[in-house]
Structure 1
Amino acid sequence: MKTLLTSLSLLCIWLSANAQKQIFLYEGKPAGSENWTWEEAVSEKNIFNTKVVYNVSRPSITAYVPENPNGTAIVIAPGGAFHTLSIDSEGIDVAKWLNVRGITAFVLKYRVARSFTDDPAKEIIGKMSNFKALDEENAPIIPLATQDGMKAIKYIREHASEYKIDPKKVGFMGFSAGGTLTMSVVYSADDASRPNFVAPIYAYENAIIGNNMPKEKTPIFVAVAGDDQLGFMPHSINIYKKWFDAKQPAELHIYEKGGHGFGMRKTNTSSEGWIENFGNWLKMQGYIK
């Protein structure tokens, strides 16, 4: 009986420490999308073969809190062409990996363009053959998503003591469109909403908004596959070079294979090692003890 009670006690402690809490970033409907009437939904079976969230109209962050927080926090922005969010491979799975290393993670659901069917992946695949048209469609959405990203950073800093976070160790990372969002946030933010470090993973540079390179030291970690089907590899090189030329701490990884959207997927390529490389970089920068 004593052993059982001890086990249950430890289980309760573990569940409490690893509990996820969803926090809506605004009271009511946020500015810019007051007239949006669609409801957030989830697609489980689709061409992407992963869970995706779509029709986000109420931006939120979900906190993944480690048992022993080390003071570092990271906002994670999943990708999906600003139409969907690849919530597992480019969100929750990353958060869990960071938790093991003591980092408090916040998976961001930012505003995306409206999907008109219950198969948003099929909708977006049909649009990706014409990036010019897709950019035009996404143009009014990206500033809203950027506001959501900056709001998330501000929220975390305002509640830093609650989560045992050092407000000077708050980072932002994202994948594909989430990487575009990462760079839009760091280039557009003021002091209160600017992340201390960033990690754009296979970002799409053409849709980044803002151009204010931080004056403060802001390390960047960039990763992409050379065989990215969408041709985003040069975008990562350009982002890295801008950071390098600004004399900011910068690291770039280009994996021979991995394609676009490797995230936390098992690809049987060297791109699977990106997360370990990221962890080593975080340790070098002092964000993992």
Structure 2
Amino acid sequence: MIDRRSAILGTLASGWAARASAQTPPPRVSEGVAVAGSADPEETIDLWPQGAPGAPATLLVETVEDRGKGGLPVDRAVWGISRPRLVVFRPRKPNGAALLVTPGGGYRWVVVDKEGYEIGRWLAARGFTVFVLFYRLPGEGWAAGPDVALADAQRAMRLIRARAADYGIAPERVGAMGFSAGGHVCGDLATRFDTPVYAPVDAADRLSARPCLAAPIYAVQAMTADLAHAGSRALLLGPSPGAAQERAHSTAANVSPRTPPCFLLHAEDDRVVKVENTLAFRAACVRAGVPVETHLFAQGGHGFGLRGTLGKPVAVWPELFVAWARTLGFG
């Protein structure tokens, strides 16, 4: 919960944000080239006013690949992110709640559409203010290493709360949702929200980074060789991580009674990220006394988001999430 002092600090940070210079635009395939489908959002929030800390020696070039090759549905992915930022989906009728969404991409890239913009539009249509995070990737040479995406997620949560009044949201009603490797970012945030992974830069960093709820969806959770998604593990921890490093970045090992209520979703026929990732996280929540809602579906595979659910029972998952969130007074 956010106390009165935190709310005042948030107002101060909001005033700073309003005076900030122009923000970095959303990822684009190339300037001036239209993408088929729904119009992209234009409002963004840069996370770091003086630039992201710990930049690699070689300047990164942000690159967007349209994996759909210009067809429908659009399927873009972005890497080389040196200006991490939030892309904002404002609802017509805000319900006072917000979600930080972290798309997947195996820590190789960040998926733009199917695990970012599509769920952003869906949730905004139901009153939620949505902030899609384009986070830095751990394999691209940042000084924070495996904590670089967590640093961006913590900073994002604090900025959202700092600007709550600008968006008509309550600071204590900000949750997190993530998919696949972005589900690892979400789970990391839910369990290590107060772990110092960057030096504070302004008043916003005095605010809590703890989400009021978390929804890791078909999430990468474990970093041990038996359960991990091999590509995500290698990019996060390197080719030969030790047992201590694996444990430090396995979300189930970091669940505590302070972890927020969690909504877990996985398909049992997922051949990319084993369903045992979700089961291990659920078991850790139960042991810690953390409220946890778990939905397992026989079919769905991996990376279904919204578009991959048509005609399958798993298509109900977004409505299940909203119904569960409302039992917590969210939305």
- Pairing 1:239–2:281 present: yes
- Pairing 1:38–2:60 present: yes
Quote how far apart the aligned CAs of 1:140 are.
6.1
Tell me the equivalent position of 1:129: none
The 5 Å alignment of 1:259-274 reads 259-267=301-309, 268-274=311-317
Could you list the per-position Cα deviations for residues 205-242 of structure 1 after superposition, in whole angstroms to 9, with x for gaps in the alignment?
Answer: 22435655454472100001100012420100111111
Tell me the equivalent position of 2:321: 278
Quote how far apart the aligned CAs of 1:45 are.
2.6
Tell me the equivalent position of 1:56: 81
Distance 1:244 1:160, change over 3 A: same
Distance 1:38 1:114, change over 3 A: farther
Quote how far apart the aligned CAs of 1:113 are.
4.9
The 5 Å alignment of 1:127-146 reads 141-146=145-150
**Native 8 Å contact 1:55 1:83 kept in 2:** no
Distance 1:274 1:157, change over 3 A: same
Q: Report the number of matched residues.
A: 250
The 5 Å alignment of 1:10-89 reads 20-45=42-67, 50-89=75-114
**Native 8 Å contact 1:111 1:141 kept in 2:** no
The 5 Å alignment of 1:186-225 reads 186-190=190-194, 192-207=208-223, 208=249, 211-216=253-258, 218-225=260-267
Tell me the equivalent position of 1:171: 175
Distance 1:283 1:80, change over 3 A: same
Could you list the per-position Cα deviations for residues 84-130 of structure 1 after superposition, in whole angstroms to 9, with x for gaps in the alignment?
Answer: 11111101111111111111000000001568xxxxxxxxxxxxxxx
Distance 1:217 1:110, change over 3 A: closer
Could you list the per-position Cα deviations for residues 187-222 of structure 1 after superposition, in whole angstroms to 9, with x for gaps in the alignment?
Answer: 221271111110001111224356554544721000
Could you say what the CA RMSD is over the residues aligned between the two structures, in angstroms? 2.6
- Percent identical among aligned pairs is 32
Tell me the equivalent position of 1:183: 187
How far, CA to CA, are the matches of 1:81 and 1:138 in structure 2?
A: 17
How far, CA to CA, are the matches of 2:133 and 2:86 in structure 1?
A: 4
Runs (5+) with no aligned partner, structure 2: 1-39, 195-206, 224-248
Counterpart of 1:109, as a letter, is: F
Counterpart of 2:299, as a letter, is: K
How far, CA to CA, are the matches of 1:238 and 1:209 in structure 2?
A: 10
**Native 8 Å contact 2:96 2:169 kept in 1:** yes
Quote how far apart the aligned CAs of 1:243 are.
1.0
How far, CA to CA, are the matches of 1:227 and 1:249 in structure 2?
A: 25
How far, CA to CA, are the matches of 2:262 and 2:290 in structure 1?
A: 8
Counterpart secondary structure, 2:43: strand
Distance 1:110 1:36, change over 3 A: farther
**Native 8 Å contact 1:55 1:113 kept in 2:** no
- Pairing 1:162–2:176 present: no
Runs (5+) with no aligned partner, structure 1: 1-17, 116-136
TM-score, with length taken from structure 2 = 0.70
How far, CA to CA, are the matches of 1:213 and 1:274 in structure 2?
A: 24
Tell me the equivalent position of 1:3: none
**Native 8 Å contact 1:186 1:214 kept in 2:** no
